Amino acid sequence: MTAVLTQPRPIRLKGRSFLALALTPELPFEDWLIRLDDLAGRSAGFFLRRPVVLDVDGLDIDRAELRGLVEQLGRRNVRIMGIEGARPSLMGADLPPAMTDGRAASDFEAPDAAQASQPELPPPAIQAEPQALRAAPSLVITDPVRSGQSILFPEGDVTVVGSVASGAEIVAGGSIHVYGTLRGRAMAGTTGAASARIFCRKLEAELIAIDGFYRTAEDLDPDLWGRAVQIWLEGEAIKAGILG
């Protein structure tokens, strides 16, 4: 009798890069959670079904405080997929896994097996050219963005020829241009581009944000409501002006 040995099928492991929100809590946590509740209350569903990384780099906390914060966020339906910047002594099996070297999704490239065995090479000379000399990628949406839709484009600018409905959102690594009415949420500069701007023909937004700094509808100047505006960031302050 001849025995036939079969080779088991290998398990395939693939690299993936996903866009996630990074929450950077501040001490005392009680006050920070109040501000978080205010944001969630004024922008319903902001954290719903959204991957979130908790960045605690530089915070003087112990494991119990970190565990308590994760539990508090869980009660608010903010599900933490990983923790960044935590000392090894803070981590444990009862907490989300540690994450390191977090960076913008547009800059991430998962190496294949051949690349993984090669030493890292310096970037080609073209990468050192000024940013202005390279064409920035952009995404053009020719249809209106309906309620419940989420447009994610961390690589560059997003242009919407129509309108953005209430309950919809645009998340861009660069600037956002809306040629119609902006009623939903617009988050520009999400990969650290503080120079990104938001332009719209008619402002009725639920929330606008640039490089992580946000304003909700209640925070916006009433004189801007229903007007054609541009929005930009100065330091940590969001500014807006009417387009002529």
All domains in the chain, ordered by first residue: 21-103 (3.30.70), 136-242 (2.160.20.70)
Both tokens of residue 72? 């508090």
Give the SS3 label for residue 17: coil
DSSP category for residue 180: E
Query: Taking a C-beta distance cutoff of 8 angstroms, is the pair 200, 214 a contact?
Result: no
Share of the chain above pLDDT 90, in %: 48
What is the Rg, in whole angstroms, of the alpha carbon atoms belonging to the chain?
A: 22
**DSSP run (H or E) holding 24:** none
- Backbone φ and ψ of 114, nearest 5°: -70, -40
The list of the chain residues with pLDDT below 50 reads 104-134
Residue 190: how many other CB atoms lie within 10 Å: 24
- pLDDT of res. 131: 40
Both tokens of residue 65? 């405080």
Has this prediction a pTM greater than 0.85?
A: no
Dist CA 141 CA 180 (whole Å): 12
List the one residue out of 214, 177, 178, 172 whose CA is nearest residue 190.
Answer: 172
Dist CA 163 CA 177 (whole Å): 10
C-alpha distance from residue 5 to each of 11, 32, 243, 244 (Å): 18, 60, 73, 77
Query: Taking a C-beta distance cutoff of 8 angstroms, is the pair 157, 136 a contact?
Result: yes
Residue 142: how many other CB atoms lie within 10 Å: 8
Query: Taking a C-beta distance cutoff of 8 angstroms, is the pair 213, 197 a contact?
Result: no
- pLDDT of res. 204: 96
- pLDDT of res. 105: 42
Both tokens of residue 158? 């997003």
- pLDDT of res. 13: 60
- pLDDT of res. 41: 76
C-alpha distance from residue 42 to each of 105, 205, 206 (Å): 27, 12, 8
Give the SS3 label for residue 38: helix
- Backbone φ and ψ of 160, nearest 5°: -110, 115
Beta bridge partners of 188: 210
pLDDT in tens, 73-111: 999 888 899 999 999 989 988 899 988 766 544 333 333
